[in-house]
């Protein structure tokens, strides 16, 4: 094996839709080009006493819990864990609805798969992740309908061709996403969102997927309030944007658009005005990307991407 690997996992800018579909809650989250990283570097010499502080650096408690839970199943001993230094780097803000925790858990599981040379199916991955907390469908390479609480149902759907970007607006403060879920007093039916989404994929039309996202955002407004949502939707539609989505466990919303048809400078000029800045003081610019963890290995000081077979993960 290489002496050094860098793993990265994308954020999600909320969900394209979420809610009851055929009686049960499901979602489709979407990955964007903001990442958390995990570096695995082979340690030189003897590993010495095996203690957490000797080889785990900046790993959140959820990552450590998953490693503890899954390592034994995958035949990863404490000695093998200690042969590597584990360095975590977080660029995805926590507590905003950007799936930072899902990214971290997927990084930990991918690292275990890598060093154990064990294959994991998507169902294996979902079982491990949902044992810690509800997860997001960004673990899949393409847009996927997912029962996020226990991973009992998932269906990879795909998406239309073409680049899509998102102008994200975030409210102040942070959310405890687990408690945020518990405080919901009702989960709306979003079957219409699901139907629009399916039609959009079939017809290769991002506009229909944008409508699906907007329908879901509106359906949740009386249960999960976003200030000025309706005005944001109307202005985005007037400027030719695809639609508006929200994070259903967080405080960020996304304005979806095609870069050749909408100017980001135009959107900034609208949504950086005081009437929006007062509620949404933070903004980001993202691009939709493929989901799932990526692995790069150090080959003569040049990091090269490892292409993982599907489904699931398998090491090289």
**Is the pLDDT assigned to residue 180 strictly greater than 70?**
no
**Is the pLDDT assigned to residue 209 strictly greater than 90?**
yes
**Is the pLDDT assigned to residue 299 strictly greater than 50?**
yes
- Cis check: omega of the bond before 311, within 30 degrees of 0: yes
The model's pLDDT over 103-148, given as tens digits with 9 standing for 90+, comes to: 999 999 999 999 999 889 999 999 999 999 999 999 999 999 999 9
- Mean residue pLDDT of the chain comes to 90
**What pLDDT score does 182 carry?**
52
Percent over 90 (pLDDT), the chain: 81
**Is the pLDDT assigned to residue 298 strictly greater than 90?**
no
CA–CA distances in Å: residue 111 to residues 107, 117, 297: 6, 10, 12
**What pLDDT score does 302 carry?**
58
Question: Model confidence at 52, in pLDDT bands (50, 70, 90)?
Answer: very low
The model's pLDDT over 41-51, given as tens digits with 9 standing for 90+, comes to: 988 755 444 44
Fold (topology level) of 4-306: Ribosomal Protein S5; domain 2 (3.30.230)
Question: For the chain, what are the domain ranges?
Answer: 4-306
Give the pairing of strands 56-57 and 84-89. parallel
Helix axes 191-202, 206-220, angle to 10 degrees: 170
Is 184 or 111 the better-scoring residue by pLDDT?
Answer: 111
**313, exposed or middle or buried, with CB in 10 Å at 0-12, 13-18, 19+?**
buried
Contact (Cβ atoms closer than 8 angstroms) between residue 174 and residue 94 = yes
Percent over 70 (pLDDT), the chain: 87
The model's pLDDT over 65-95, given as tens digits with 9 standing for 90+, comes to: 999 999 999 999 999 999 999 999 999 999 9
If you average pLDDT over residues 206-219, what whole number do you get?
Answer: 98
Contact (Cβ atoms closer than 8 angstroms) between residue 202 and residue 157 = no
Dist CA 238 CA 219 (whole Å): 21
CA–CA distances in Å: residue 314 to residues 59, 92, 203: 23, 25, 33
299 DSSP β-pair partners: 302
């Amino acid at each position: 094996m290489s002496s050094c690997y860098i793993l990265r996992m994308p954020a999600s800018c909320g969900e394209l839709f979420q809610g009851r579909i055929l009686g049960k809650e499901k979602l489709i989250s979407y990955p964007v080009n903001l990442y958390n990283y995990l570096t695995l570097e082979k340690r030189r010499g003897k590993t010495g006493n095996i203690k957490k502080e000797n080889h785990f650096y900046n790993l959140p408690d959820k990552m450590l819990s998953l490693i503890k839970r899954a390592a034994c199943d995958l035949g990863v001993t404490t000695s093998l864990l200690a042969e590597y230094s584990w360095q975590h780097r977080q660029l995805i803000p926590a507590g905003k609805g950007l799936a930072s925790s899902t990214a971290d858990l997927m990084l930990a599981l991918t690292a275990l798969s890598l060093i154990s040379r064990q294959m994991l199916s998507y169902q294996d991955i979902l079982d491990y992740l949902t044992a810690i907390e509800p997860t997001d469908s960004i673990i899949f390479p393409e847009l996927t309908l997912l029962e996020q609480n226990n991973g009992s149902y998932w269906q990879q759907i795909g998406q239309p061709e073409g680049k899509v970007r998102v102008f994200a607006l975030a409210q102040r403060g942070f959310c405890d996403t687990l408690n945020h879920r518990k405080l919901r007093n009702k989960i709306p039916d979003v079957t219409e969102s699901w139907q629009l989404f399916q039609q959009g994929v079939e017809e290769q039309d991002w506009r229909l997927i944008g409508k699906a996202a907007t329908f879901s955002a509106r359906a949740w407004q009386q249960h999960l309030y976003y200030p000025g949502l309706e005005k944001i939707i109307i202005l985005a539609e007037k400027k030719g944007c695809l639609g508006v989505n929200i994070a259903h466990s967080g405080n960020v919303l996304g304005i979806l658009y095609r870069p050749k048809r909408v100017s980001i400078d135009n959107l900034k000029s609208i949504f950086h005005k005081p009437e929006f800045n007062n509620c949404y003081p933070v903004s980001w610019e993202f691009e939709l990307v493929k989901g799932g963890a990526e692995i790069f290995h150090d080959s003569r000081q040049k990091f090269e991407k490892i292409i993982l077979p599907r489904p699931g993960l398998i090491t090289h």
